[in-house]
Structure 1
């Protein structure tokens, strides 16, 4: 039986292994113990997963590879096959190629065909945007089941021969914060016991008159020797704006739903770094919410992180309970959030 309420049936994830700790990163780039201590204190990331061979810089798993694995796991967790999917949406800032769209490569590998597919170009908020687009389509009644995927492979932009001691902070920080990975979820309007319901989805562009906090370049034949850094991060601007935007997301979701702060049992906060997440959680002030934070072990793997958090959430949610997730994209400042509820009648 189907209605217009969208539910999360299952979530799957994929990380390129093995995890790389800060000591291994420091050894590869010739950084000393003082540098490692700085990373531990000010960033907090213990390990990250990179889809390259750190010794040689050779690429390993692609976004399509990781997305296929995550999606297959989500389908298996839902007890569904490719033929049950009515629409596919992928969110990423780092597609494997500009054409063909990575979403279609993943769909082809899963034997999905003859349905609408969408690829959203976005940073960390892209994971929420995939859910927003898919939920909106499901709510029309034209479709019943959607596969949403999020992931990023930023390590392909790394120069493993770089001298980190000479890099400016806006380039150095990218080697410390980020990891690679993918996640996927199956959404449906079918009534399924134990499946949390999506109560609200929020995505808002908030970049008017704000300079980009992150820039990620693509290079073609004409500009490949331009000397521009492939990735730049304005960490100071991110420290200033992300907590403020996260607070706005939570307040808007609470206001729209009429939920009190002490009624939220689970919080999935933005995951730029461990230290940043700690500051944001304190500012959000949800007194009874259990925090689901993974960035210390996975690195910031962009659009994959929300799905990794949702995977943990589904294993923890009991009846009844409410959860809020927040994702902030700093490239041109997009705020996004998600509210889920597992009610007594689910």
Structure 2
């Protein structure tokens, strides 16, 4: 940030996250037979960032998928990987999520000259990537995915967030690369989170009192507090990290998962909630340590 230069790409961050995830799972890249990634900010339109990461890892000859989505993209990637694995064709999936926001903003700008809406974007969003390894068979100390769902709910609703790509023909216009309606997000996300939690509990057959860990949406520290208070799961331990790592989009779910999985004991349960505010996608998952 001090230099005003971006020193990494999403491919760089994704490779690091993937290697850490494979090591933690005791797997090699050669054992991966499926790769799925969620991101709103790929390094390029082509080639897909997921394929650049796979290339660096030495993964080849397997299906790869890249999902274009905001903060729910990581959960969408988990759902797609799980559904494909349920066919019996795949045994080990590498699932990634991440975003790089810095290159969409002028890091050398004097924030004192910006409007409040512009300041939010510059100070709130950051860069990061995360990864997880899914398998079809329980292992010692493993966590089972009990349910995952994602659902578009944006019919007729204006986008809450926009990120634009510019080509040679339109590079000179004055539109901002990124913009968001933070007031709309502030009003919508807590209510959507409450709806997601109810649906997750219904699908899993759990009550709120049976939830041990809550992974709420990570918009900002203040918004996370507001959402957690509204969800009303007092017996659950909140797993949040946005105040430490910033809002790095699709990476945040993995940062939360890393903390939750390290803390969960046998039989304990966790629910995670994500909301994509560009065109309003609900997403969530429920986990249980077996």
Question: Please, which of 175, 193, 200 is the counterpart of residue 246 of structure 1?
Answer: 193
C-alpha deviation, 1:158, in angstroms: 1.4
Q: Distance in 1 between matches of 2:46 and 2:135?
A: 29
How many residues are treated as equivalent by the alignment? 290
**CA deviation map 1:38-91 (0-9, x unaligned):** xxxxxxxxxxxxxxxx23322201100000000001001111111110100011
RMSD over aligned Cα, in angstroms?
A: 1.0
Q: Which moved more, 1:263-272 or 1:208-217?
A: 208-217
Question: Please, which of 43, 48, 52 is the counterpart of residue 105 of structure 1?
Answer: 52
Q: Distance in 1 between matches of 2:184 and 2:97?
A: 25
Q: Distance in 1 between matches of 2:176 and 2:225?
A: 29
C-alpha deviation, 1:287, in angstroms: 2.0
Q: Which residue of 2 aligns with 1:122?
A: 69
Q: Is residue 43 of structure 2 the alignment partner of residue 96 of structure 1?
A: yes
TM-score using structure 1 length: 0.82
Q: Distance in 2 between matches of 1:287 and 1:65?
A: 39
Q: Which moved more, 1:274-283 or 1:161-170?
A: 161-170
SS of corresponding position for 2:136: strand
Query: Is the 2:13–2:128 Cα contact (8 Å) retained in structure 1?
Result: yes
Q: Which residue of 1 aligns with 2:279?
A: 332
Question: Please, which of 70, 84, 92 is the counterpart of residue 31 of structure 2?
Answer: 84
C-alpha deviation, 1:164, in angstroms: 2.7
Gaps of 5+ in 2: none
Query: Is the 1:273–1:299 Cα contact (8 Å) retained in structure 2?
Result: yes
SS of corresponding position for 1:325: strand
Q: Which residue of 1 aligns with 2:265?
A: 318
TM-score using structure 2 length: 0.98
Query: Is the 1:63–1:151 Cα contact (8 Å) retained in structure 2?
Result: yes
C-alpha deviation, 1:321, in angstroms: 0.6
* Deviation >6 Å, runs of 4+: none
Bigger Rg, structure 1 or 2: 1
C-alpha deviation, 1:340, in angstroms: 0.3
**CA deviation map 1:268-308 (0-9, x unaligned):** 00000000000100111112110000000100000000000
Gaps of 5+ in 1: 1-53
Q: Is residue 123 of structure 2 the alignment partner of residue 182 of structure 1?
A: no
Query: Is the 1:171–1:229 Cα contact (8 Å) retained in structure 2?
Result: no
Query: Is the 1:245–1:335 Cα contact (8 Å) retained in structure 2?
Result: yes
Equivalence map 1:183-202=2 (5 Å): 183-202=130-149
**CA deviation map 1:107-147 (0-9, x unaligned):** 00000000000000001000100100000001111111100
Q: Is residue 234 of structure 2 the alignment partner of residue 287 of structure 1?
A: yes
Q: Which residue of 1 aligns with 2:87?
A: 140
SS of corresponding position for 2:66: strand
Question: Please, which of 65, 69, 78 is the counterpart of residue 16 of structure 2?
Answer: 69
Q: Which moved more, 1:160-169 or 1:89-98?
A: 160-169
Q: Distance in 1 between matches of 2:116 and 2:166?
A: 22
Question: Please, which of 201, 226, 239 is the counterpart of residue 173 of structure 2?
Answer: 226
